[in-house]
């Protein structure tokens, strides 16, 4: 199976996102025990896009910045270093209690001590993302985009960003851009907005070409019956996950690709990592196998990024899930929460289980 992509486009991949800062202690230490921290620019959606940008495809980011903020300058510099174009409004801070870029404070964990993540999103400038600040006719009609990747994180940030994602999906559909949607359920985002967000997510799903979730997203966002997530021996649940994806396909027949990752945690630094993908009527499964984890955050984004890259390259569908699996495994070897592949061969070596030195 293949996915016909629009030709003559300036951008292979476009991601709307709310950029922020990730703060992690050195040497895998807990936050409360540390006084040295690493700062990086972050967002789940640019984590996805990094696979394509590092491997040479043109990527564009739609976001918002705090005007005059040194952290906004830091983020812009990082996006340039990753080879990404970007655009978005400059929002005045509005004083010390005004807007800022969100902060993600992460303890990566080690061994038997699990990771802990603390999100500090008060005053997040990304909650102001507004379709009125972007010329979608120019972006999709003149510049051209092959795939737009939407995330449930952005769709659920605020009522304004929900409308923003809906309008982007509608514009993409109008101009023949393929739509990828990672549901990315977060309970704290949905609290008090359950019906509203269910309706928004359902509409985006109804016009999407590629639908992605982890073990629970389809159940919690769309109300699709599925197996209990987590626990041990996740491989034994694969048939149940396939049944769930079948129910998603029946509810959203416009989509042609459905995928979910599978993760079984042995300890913080050892996971059994797998994936399931339905492409058209063809199933592809990567049975969970052990990967060694430096930092798990971003592994799921790496999977999505690798899968979308493989689709953009026009490879056979069997390779979509393989490259996605390996890109997700690669991401967990970085202290950044996004993978930075040197080349395609580095990713394929992970798929092949080849960790020998390359000279």
Q: Rounded distance, CA 125 to CA 121, Å?
A: 9
Helices (H), 24-97: 44-54, 70-81
Is 263 within 8 Å of 232 (Cβ atoms)?
Answer: no
Q: Provide the whole-model pTM.
A: 0.96
Longest dimension (CA), the chain: 56
Q: Of 2, 306, 4, 321, nearest to 178 (Cα)? A: 4
3-class DSSP assignment, residue 120: strand
3-class DSSP assignment, residue 58: coil
Phi-psi domain of 142 (left: phi exceeds 0; alpha: psi -120 through 50; beta: other): alpha
Q: Rounded distance, CA 147 to CA 129, Å?
A: 20
Q: Rounded distance, CA 271 to CA 332, Å?
A: 10
Per-residue pLDDT of the chain (359 residues; tens, 9 = 90+): 889 999 999 999 999 999 999 999 998 899 999 999 999 999 999 999 999 999 999 999 999 999 999 999 999 999 999 999 999 999 999 999 999 999 999 999 999 999 999 999 999 999 999 999 999 999 999 999 999 999 999 999 999 999 999 999 999 999 999 999 999 999 999 999 999 999 999 999 999 999 999 768 999 999 998 887 666 788 888 999 999 999 999 999 999 999 999 999 999 999 999 999 999 999 999 999 999 999 999 999 999 999 999 999 999 999 999 999 999 999 999 999 999 999 999 999 999 999 999 88
């Amino acid at each position: 199976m293949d996915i016909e992509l629009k030709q003559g486009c300036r951008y292979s991949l476009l991601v709307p996102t709310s950029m922020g800062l990730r703060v992690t202690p050195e040497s895998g230490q807990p936050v409360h025990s540390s006084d040295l921290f690493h700062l990086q620019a972050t967002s789940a959606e640019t984590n996805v896009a990094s696979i394509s940008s590092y491997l040479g495809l043109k990527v564009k980011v739609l976001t918002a910045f705090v005007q005059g903020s040194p952290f906004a300058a830091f983020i812009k510099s990082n996006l340039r270093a990753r080879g990404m174009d970007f655009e978005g409004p400059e929002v005045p801070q509005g004083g010390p209690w005004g807007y800022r870029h969100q902060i993600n404070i992460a303890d990566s964990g080690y061994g038997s001590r699990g990771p802990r993540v603390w999100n500090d999103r008060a005053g997040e400038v990304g909650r102001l993302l507004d379709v009125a600040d972007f010329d979608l006719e120019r972006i999709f009609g003149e510049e051209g985009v092959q795939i737009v990747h939407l995330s449930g994180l952005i769709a659920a940030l605020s009522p304004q960003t929900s409308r923003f994602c809906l309008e982007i999906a509608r514009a993409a559909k109008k101009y023949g851009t393929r739509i990828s949607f990672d549901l990315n359920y977060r309970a704290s985002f949905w609290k008090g907005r359950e019906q509203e967000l269910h309706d928004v997510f359902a509409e985006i799903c109804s016009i999407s070409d590629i639908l992605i979730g982890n073990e629970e997203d389809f159940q919690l966002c769309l109300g699709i019956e599925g197996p209990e997530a987590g626990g041990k021996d996740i491989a034994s649940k694969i048939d149940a996950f396939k049944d769930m994806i079948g129910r998603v396909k029946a509810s959203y027949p416009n989509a042609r690709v459905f995928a979910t990752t599978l993760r079984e945690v042995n300890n913080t630094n050892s996971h059994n990592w797998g994936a399931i993908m339905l492409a058209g009527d063809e199933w592809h499964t990567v049975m969970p196998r052990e990967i060694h984890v430096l930092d798990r955050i971003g592994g799921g984004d790496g999977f999505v990024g690798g899968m979308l890259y493989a689709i953009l390259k026009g490879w056979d569908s069997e390779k979509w899930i393989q490259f996605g699996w390996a890109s997700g495994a690669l991401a967990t070897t970085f202290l950044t929460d996004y993978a930075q592949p040197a080349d395609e061969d580095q990713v394929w070596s992970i798929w092949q289980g080849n960790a020998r030195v390359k000279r």
